[in-house]
């Protein structure tokens, strides 16, 4: 019997050096668009949602907002399993990306050893009171697979619309074989 995963949420708020905020502002747009940067993160199939923000003024986006003494990185995510397993996976799978993201945060111990990094994260975690997850049983990997399967199905339906029974059966078997990992 498969264990039912319950989605967890985390919000982490961390002050960063002002120069590091410049680094984050410069690299985030590139990281968002470069497949080699995103691919390992997208393969972490237990992630439902993850978002990074940089806060330099409060309230943000308002004329006359107060500039903070230090910018803050705000990280929000929801995921399957416990926070310790989530942090452990990031530390082991993408330690360079963790360093590239957190290096400028005051007191960052590095992604390894994992227990120090986990203690660092736990000290900055704000407990989630509420969060919304449109698909609580689906990770970002599962949603991406469903979207790809939907597109493949649309293509199959258009191609198979006028086929005779035997040709349809052969084409359907081919469709299932080609898309079995998406099912």
Provide the token pair at 37: 């940067």
User: Is 113 in the same domain as 167?
Assistant: no
Burial bucket for residue 62 (CB in 10 Å: 0-12, 13-18, 19+): exposed
User: Is 121 in the same domain as 144?
Assistant: no
Is residue 64 one of the residues assigned to a domain?
A: yes
Q: Peptide bond preceding 56: is omega within 30 degrees of 0, i.e. cis?
A: no
**Structural domain tally of the chain?**
2
Provide the token pair at 26: 């410069």
Q: What is the pLDDT of residue 158?
A: 92
Place of tokens 């227990």: 115
Is residue 104 one of the residues assigned to a domain?
A: yes
Q: Which residues make Cβ contacts (< 8 Å) with residue 116, sequence separation at least 6?
A: 109, 110
Q: What is the CATH number of the domain that holds 116?
A: 3.30.70
pLDDT tens column, 143-183? 888 889 999 999 999 999 989 999 999 999 999 999 988 87
User: Is 40 in the same domain as 122?
Assistant: yes
Is residue 131 one of the residues assigned to a domain?
A: no
User: Is 35 in the same domain as 120?
Assistant: yes
Is residue 66 one of the residues assigned to a domain?
A: yes
User: Is 107 in the same domain as 144?
Assistant: no
Q: What is the pLDDT of residue 1?
A: 41
Max Cα–Cα distance, the chain, nearest Å: 71
Is residue 152 one of the residues assigned to a domain?
A: yes
Is residue 2 one of the residues assigned to a domain?
A: no
User: Is 122 in the same domain as 154?
Assistant: no
Is residue 86 one of the residues assigned to a domain?
A: yes
User: Is 95 in the same domain as 12?
Assistant: yes
Q: What is the pLDDT of residue 144?
A: 82
User: Is 103 in the same domain as 153?
Assistant: no
- Rounded Cα distance, 16 and 108, in Å: 10
Number of neighbouring beta carbons within 10 Å of residue 146:
14
User: Is 51 in the same domain as 118?
Assistant: yes
Task: Read off the pTM.
Answer: 0.68
User: In the sheet where 7-15 sits, what is the strand order?
Assistant: 47-58, 66-80, 7-15, 125-126
User: Is 34 in the same domain as 113?
Assistant: yes
Is residue 133 one of the residues assigned to a domain?
A: no
pLDDT tens column, 34-64? 777 667 666 666 777 778 899 998 887 788 8
User: Is 162 in the same domain as 94?
Assistant: no
Range of the domain at 76: 7-126
Res. 9 pLDDT band, cuts 50 70 90: confident
3-class SS at 76?
A: strand
User: Is 148 in the same domain as 103?
Assistant: no
pLDDT tens column, 91-122? 888 888 888 889 999 999 999 888 999 999 99
């Amino acid at each position: 019997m498969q264990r039912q995963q319950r989605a967890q949420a985390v919000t982490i708020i961390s002050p960063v050096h002002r120069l590091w905020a410049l680094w984050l502002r410069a690299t985030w747009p590139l990281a968002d668009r470069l497949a080699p940067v995103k691919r390992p993160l997208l393969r972490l199939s237990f992630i439902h949602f993850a978002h990074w923000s940089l806060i330099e003024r409060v309230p943000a986006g308002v004329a006359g907002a107060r500039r903070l003494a230090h910018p803050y990185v705000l990280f929000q995510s929801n995921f399957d399993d416990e926070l310790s397993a989530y942090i452990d996976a990031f530390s082991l799978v993408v330690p360079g990306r963790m360093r590239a993201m957190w290096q400028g945060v005051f007191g960052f111990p590095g992604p390894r050893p994992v227990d120090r990094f986990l203690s660092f994260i736990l000290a900055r975690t704000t407990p989630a009171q509420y969060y919304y997850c449109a698909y609580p049983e689906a990770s970002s990997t599962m949603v991406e697979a469903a979207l790809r399967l939907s597109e493949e199905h649309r293509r199959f339906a258009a191609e198979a619309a006028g086929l005779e029974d035997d040709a349809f059966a052969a084409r359907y078997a081919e469709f299932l074989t080609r898309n079995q990992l998406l099912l």
